[in-house]
Structure 1
Amino acid sequence: MTAETARPARTDWTLPGLALADLTLPVPLDHADPAGPSIELFARLVTRPGGEDLPVLVYLQGGPGSEAPRPLAPASPPWLPRALREHRVLMLDQRGTGRSTPVGPDAPLPEGTIPGARTLREASPAQQARYLTFFRADAIVADAELLREALDLPRWSLLGQSFGGFTTLRYLSAAAGSVEKALFTGGLPTVGPHMDQVYATTWEGMIARSERYWARFPGDRDRFRRLADEAAAGRLRAPGGRRIGVESLRRLGHLLGASQGAERLHLLLDLDPASPAFAHDLAAALPFSGRNPLYAVIHESCWADGVATRWAADRTMPAAVAEDPTLLAGEHIHRDLFAEDPELAVWAEAADLLAAHEWPRLYDEQALRATEVPGAAAVYYDDAYVPREHSMTTAALLPGLRTWVTSEYEHNGLRASGEGVLDHLLDLATGLRAA
């Protein structure tokens, strides 16, 4: 621990079978300006009885823009019991989420952040955009390093789910010496300026998923087409009157990237579209809401390794998809979403500015090739969001990484498998199981 690093504030409490420590630590908003404004970082350390001296495994949540899971019991989330057998688990609320200083239009800004503005709603679009540039994986890793030093831990292990895997790869690029082992679940991103190729691949994958879905539930296609007609006419509404446009409706396809997602979509389309149940369930099923604004506003930036995004999902949308609303989307941001959702409208101009922003590099290929950190990655064969082809190219850069390519699970395999995926990865990383 450096002389400048203070101990985090700590509050201890318990759940049946678990001891929890809530940790808070001030960190710079801009790590290049450590004397500038600070924000608060929150993490929760979870320990089983008798596990107080076990090494620490940091869970890095998917997103971007979502807080870490809240453990409710030793088996919630489902992978937690397996992790706790060998580790204490640190649940990190990545900056801008959960109990870390939140990003929201009306959340108070840290003192001195934007002169003349108490909240982001009061800031100009340019000020909003600049503020949001500080919430990518590079800043998350720098936050984690300050917390590790404050806890006086020489090294810890990482478990990165989806975007958490992107953050883990950044960790290996920037601070591999702090990492004992690195585990990826559906989260090996492409390295370099290849995000357009990634989006093109995911669009083709979603076309195939859409056609498989309609073949399984053929009556649903006509139901969906009628909903799209209503959306195009401005008559499809969520509770409270929010208009659901065609592009918002198309993003119900994100359900198809998870276990039982096809069944969830079918049960939604099976409801009477005039019923309150349908309206509420439709709103709940749509991604990119005002609850987690970072998920919408900076989502594409997580793929931007040294390039501007320039609305990549829009630019790479195949003509066949644009012409047929029954060809569904996954995690594809569309500019119209900011106009359709009043909660996202406040971010529309900032999102345009961020789409033109030249993002710095996230990954250092030379550092990745040189790292000796052991690890394991679950690569889902037909992942809707993080394509297998690009993940395997990145995996080849990491000499200590063992990959497990499986079609048994979808993108949410870590949770859907109970202890299965994590158990397999831990054994792979320690050489107890063959890939």
Structure 2
Amino acid sequence: MQGYSFINDGCCYQNHTFEAPLNYEKPDQQQLSIFAREIRLVGDEKSNKPWLLYFQGGPGFPSPRPNGQSGWIKAALKRYRVLLLDQRGTGKSNPVTHQSIAHLDSAQQAEYLTHFRADNIVRDAENIRQRLGIKQWATLGQSYGGFCTLTYLSLFPDSLLQCYVTGGIPSIEKHIDHVYQATFKRTVQKNEAFFRQFPLAQTLCQEIATHLLEHDEFLPNGQKFTVEQFQQIGINFGVSDTFLPTYYLLETAFVDMNGTRQLSYEFLNAMLAEQAFQTNPIYAILHEPCYCQGFASQWSAHRVRQNHASFNYQAGQPFYFTGEMTFPWMFEQYKNLKPLKEAAFSLAEKNDWNPLYDSDVLSNNRVPLSCAVYADDMFVEMALSCETLSNIPNSQAWITNEYEHNGLRADGERILERLFAIGDQTAATLI
């Protein structure tokens, strides 16, 4: 259903809402409302430009709300009509929050959340394609959006014209523990680089962490702030230009109150702002299950972490930040995750997850697949991405150390233009 439309900076924005079943195996039961926003250049209303569907990173985050023609949107609109999909459970697509599923008991929450992985996100996309009467369309997947892309290529390859992926080619066969063994090593490297550039930051971090071990500090939402939560701001090291802002933040950590040293409100407020899990719980709950095919995650990152003692801080020892990993203690500490604890623990033990990828279909791929693979990516290991692509014909990787995981946001126009050129070359060989 078409909704509100408006024009800004030479672009026409058209809202769309679609109905989709929560469970595609039971299409006549509970329905979801799926939101997507179309963007096209003014004057392209009757053009024959093909469509480009955008898969956002995550899991659990909505599509971007662009402000004018810039970055990858500018490049995309030259050749496509763009559809920004709010994946189910995000944005305006029946968002999953601690509030929206509070009426369900823990078992119902767990069952409900099983339907929010890449397979059903892709089924929603395919439903939308058919509803719009589009024969084939292209896709652009950032990070987790690349996971969705390989699922789409596995389930509905005939619906795809071309696929572009930035920082998001997963391992499709290895166990999740193997993934976290690789990403923990990358996280160590990022820590070492940060503390090498800012040696004083190690002292500051130890002061903050030791203070948290010895004193109770509370965030503006009333949540007790802990060392483990402080470590999680290291997720920022996976994107560009974050070392210096992190150092500046550490400098503001303490304030003297009548001779008593405590963490400043400025610092604590900044720490709360870093906790996207509070507003986007799908990320915390399904981050590990998004890798699972026929096995349980069993809190993989937590188990692998035990082999890296440097991440378990003790007073007087070196301090290390963690990365994008999620841990069971989060559901005991984070205010908005506590109501979802039992559901999260249940899903961590679920061992009958459906397959997300079909290696046989992918091994016969004929859709041009163009990928930016970042050599120093802290979130998606380059070696695993290259291994996956080596078994997918008509895929091409542009391997670069010019960008971090957020390359599409940092320099999207250049990156997408490069992927377009790669895709066009691949397509020419298929004619």
* TM class, shorter-length: over 0.9
Q: Deviations over 1:262-297 (max 9, x none)?
A: 1221121121433222111122124x4221111111
Checking the alignment, whether the CA contact within 8 Å between 1:193 and 1:307 is kept in structure 2 is: no
Deviation at 1:204, TM superposition (A): 1.0
Among 51, 56, 61, the residue aligned to 1:56:
51
Of 332-341 and 11-20, the range deviating more from structure 2: 11-20
Among 280, 297, 300, the residue aligned to 1:312:
300
Alignment of 1:364-379 (within 5 A): 364-379=358-373
Alignment of 1:229-308 (within 5 A): 229-233=210-214, 235-273=216-254, 274-286=263-275, 288-308=276-296
Checking the alignment, whether the CA contact within 8 Å between 2:394 and 2:426 is kept in structure 1 is: no
Checking the alignment, whether the CA contact within 8 Å between 2:38 and 2:81 is kept in structure 1 is: yes
Q: Deviations over 1:104-146 (max 9, x none)?
A: 2322xxxxxxxxxxxx223221111000000000000000001
The residue identity in structure 1 corresponding to 2:312 is E
Q: Distance in 2 between matches of 1:407 and 1:197?
A: 23
Q: Distance in 1 between matches of 2:388 and 2:15?
A: 35
Q: Distance in 1 between matches of 2:90 and 2:253?
A: 35
Among 157, 171, 177, the residue aligned to 1:176:
157
- Structure 1 segments (4+ residues) deviating >3 Å: 322-325
The residue identity in structure 1 corresponding to 2:43 is G
Q: RMSD between aligned alpha carbons?
A: 1.6
Q: Distance in 2 between matches of 1:11 and 1:122?
A: 31
Among 373, 385, 392, the residue aligned to 2:379:
385
Deviation at 1:65, TM superposition (A): 0.5
> Hey, what does 1:65 align to over in structure 2?
60
The residue identity in structure 1 corresponding to 2:129 is R
Q: Distance in 1 between matches of 2:311 and 2:252?
A: 26
Alignment of 1:72-83 (within 5 A): 72-75=67-70, 78-83=71-76
Deviation at 1:196, TM superposition (A): 0.7
Among 328, 331, 338, the residue aligned to 1:338:
331
Q: Secondary structure at the match of 2:371?
A: strand
Q: Secondary structure at the match of 2:277?
A: coil
Q: Distance in 2 between matches of 1:418 and 1:374?
A: 20
TM-score (norm 2): 0.92
Identical-pair percentage: 36
Q: Secondary structure at the match of 1:79?
A: helix
Checking the alignment, whether the CA contact within 8 Å between 1:234 and 1:244 is kept in structure 2 is: no
Checking the alignment, whether the CA contact within 8 Å between 1:60 and 1:91 is kept in structure 2 is: yes
Deviation at 1:222, TM superposition (A): 1.1
Deviation at 1:243, TM superposition (A): 1.3
Q: Distance in 2 between matches of 1:278 and 1:102?
A: 29
Q: Distance in 2 between matches of 1:319 and 1:89?
A: 43
> Hey, what does 2:356 align to over in structure 1?
362
Among 90, 107, 113, the residue aligned to 1:126:
107
The residue identity in structure 2 corresponding to 1:67 is P
Q: Distance in 1 between matches of 2:244 and 2:293?
A: 35
Deviation at 1:375, TM superposition (A): 1.7
> Hey, what does 2:18 align to over in structure 1?
25
Checking the alignment, whether the CA contact within 8 Å between 1:247 and 1:334 is kept in structure 2 is: no
> Hey, what does 1:94 align to over in structure 2?
87
Unaligned ranges ≥5, structure 1: 1-7, 108-119
Q: Secondary structure at the match of 1:126?
A: helix
1:36 equivalenced with 2:29 (yes/no): yes
Of 26-35 and 222-231, the range deviating more from structure 2: 222-231
Q: Secondary structure at the match of 2:320?
A: coil
1:207 equivalenced with 2:196 (yes/no): no
Among 419, 422, 433, the residue aligned to 2:416:
422
Q: Deviations over 1:244-279 (max 9, x none)?
A: 222211111111110012122112112143322211
Task: Mark the CA change 1:29 to 1:391 in structure 2 (over 3 Å): closer, same or farther.
Answer: same
Checking the alignment, whether the CA contact within 8 Å between 2:6 and 2:13 is kept in structure 1 is: yes
1:228 equivalenced with 2:209 (yes/no): yes
Deviation at 1:369, TM superposition (A): 0.7
Deviation at 1:379, TM superposition (A): 0.4
Q: Secondary structure at the match of 1:417?
A: helix
Q: Distance in 2 between matches of 1:55 and 1:23?
A: 17
Q: Deviations over 1:274-329 (max 9, x none)?
A: 3222111122124x422111111111111213321110100111232343372221
Task: Mark the CA change 1:234 to 1:200 in structure 2 (over 3 Å): closer, same or farther.
Answer: farther
Q: Distance in 1 between matches of 2:121 and 2:150?
A: 12
Q: Distance in 2 between matches of 1:371 and 1:93?
A: 27
Q: Secondary structure at the match of 1:430?
A: helix
Query: Aligned residues, how many?
Result: 412
Checking the alignment, whether the CA contact within 8 Å between 1:162 and 1:186 is kept in structure 2 is: yes
> Hey, what does 1:185 align to over in structure 2?
166
> Hey, what does 2:345 align to over in structure 1?
352
> Hey, what does 2:319 align to over in structure 1?
326
Checking the alignment, whether the CA contact within 8 Å between 1:105 and 1:346 is kept in structure 2 is: yes
Of 35-44 and 235-244, the range deviating more from structure 2: 235-244
Deviation at 1:432, TM superposition (A): 8.6
Alignment of 1:102-117 (within 5 A): 102-107=95-100
Checking the alignment, whether the CA contact within 8 Å between 2:139 and 2:160 is kept in structure 1 is: yes
Q: Secondary structure at the match of 2:108?
A: helix
Checking the alignment, whether the CA contact within 8 Å between 1:380 and 1:406 is kept in structure 2 is: yes
Deviation at 1:16, TM superposition (A): 2.6
Q: Distance in 2 between matches of 1:323 and 1:11?
A: 50
Checking the alignment, whether the CA contact within 8 Å between 2:311 and 2:319 is kept in structure 1 is: no
TM-score (norm 1): 0.92
> Hey, what does 2:259 align to over in structure 1?
none
1:47 equivalenced with 2:36 (yes/no): no
Q: Distance in 1 between matches of 2:366 and 2:125?
A: 20
Unaligned ranges ≥5, structure 2: 255-262
